[in-house]
Amino acid sequence: MLCVEGLRKRYGRQTALDGFDLTVEQGEIAGLIGHNGAGKTTFVEVVAGLVRADSGRVVADGPLGFAPQELALYPSLTVRENLRLFGELAGLRRRDLGRAIERLVAELHLSGTVDRRTGLLSGGQRRRTQAACALIGDPPLLLLDEPTAGADPETRAALLAAVRARAHTGAAVVYTTHYLPELADLDATLAVARAGRIIARGSRQQLTRHLPGELRLVFDGPPPDLGPRARLVGGEVRVHTQDPPADLSALLAAGHLPRSVDVRKADLDDLYHSLGSSRDR
């Protein structure tokens, strides 16, 4: 479990954290999203102990595993040697350490590279190695800051499966990303950051239900005038609406009969783009 209350951090005149509050329970994956400059990475660095907050409180239940946004491996060491080092720092020894390394090598598809120096690996292989270093020892708290940035599909799939498995066994996970479909795949709760604080917290359904959905309509012949909420995109009429079924019923009742209809509910991309009207300072 992680409980953070009132974190504040300034760098000169710039405020990075301005009363940042976040609680993540055991077994929960909290997706931390927000525009660049929202304070996400500073928050993660404070919790990881890399940066000292000016004020506030951090309570973490046990040791943590941390995968920073930038790659932080020893390039002259092999994958196995990096894992051994981080495993020993996590308190693993001898047989337990060897078993943990072999399990992570298999889980994150590193068997073909385990005895190669990390400085010679591809970007995806390094990302998987860094994640393995964070996961070794099965820490009860995981801080994963953009762990799949620039990753290939194999790396992304392996990392998401590993994160889901750790949450299933009770780890609390903070997962920052700009790639929003990952949060849907992880069934993560959401924490929306802006200007150094959390401005919205809840499930995906809770945070998107107030956002407009969309009707996508194709007509035979010229489309009718459906008002200011409608726009024409490549022969398809798109209508932003809070209640797509009701607007579709009204459209049909008015005699406008489309050839095809797609009813689209608001999703995480809509939530993310809705933040654009108030950019972080």
* pLDDT score, position 276: 56
* pLDDT score, position 248: 87
**Length of the chain in residues, anyone?**
281
CA 178 to chain CA centroid, Å, is 6
Tokens of 208: 């998107």
Q: Which amino acid belongs to residue 121?
A: L
* pLDDT score, position 166: 97
Task: Evaluate whether 174 touches 32 at the Cβ level (below 8 Å).
Answer: yes
What is the rounded average pLDDT for all residues in the chain? 91
Task: Evaluate whether 280 touches 195 at the Cβ level (below 8 Å).
Answer: yes
* pLDDT score, position 71: 92
**In this predicted model, what pLDDT tens digit does every residue of 226-276 receive, in sequence order?**
888 888 888 889 988 888 888 888 888 888 889 999 988 777 777 777 765
Q: Supply the angle between the helices 79-89 and 123-135 in degrees, to the nearest 10.
A: 20
Cα–Cα separations (whole angstroms), residue 37 to 15, 128, 278: 10, 26, 12
**In this predicted model, what pLDDT tens digit does every residue of 188-239 receive, in sequence order?**
999 999 999 999 999 988 888 778 888 999 999 888 888 888 888 888 899 8
- What topology is assigned to 2-207 in CATH? Rossmann fold (3.40.50)
* pLDDT score, position 275: 65
Q: Which amino acid belongs to residue 59?
A: V
**In this predicted model, what pLDDT tens digit does every residue of 36-95 receive, in sequence order?**
889 999 999 999 999 999 999 999 988 999 999 999 999 999 999 999 999 999 999 999
**In this predicted model, what pLDDT tens digit does every residue of 102-130 receive, in sequence order?**
999 999 999 999 999 999 999 999 999 99
Name the nearest CA neighbour of 1 among 26, 22, 20, 21: 26
Residue 279 reports pLDDT greater than 70: no
| 253 phi/psi in degrees, rounded to 5 | -65, -30
Higher pLDDT, 150 or 260: 260
pTM: 0.83
How far is the C-alpha of 164 from the C-alpha of 184, rounded, in Å?
12
Q: Domain segments of the chain: what residues?
A: 2-207, 212-265
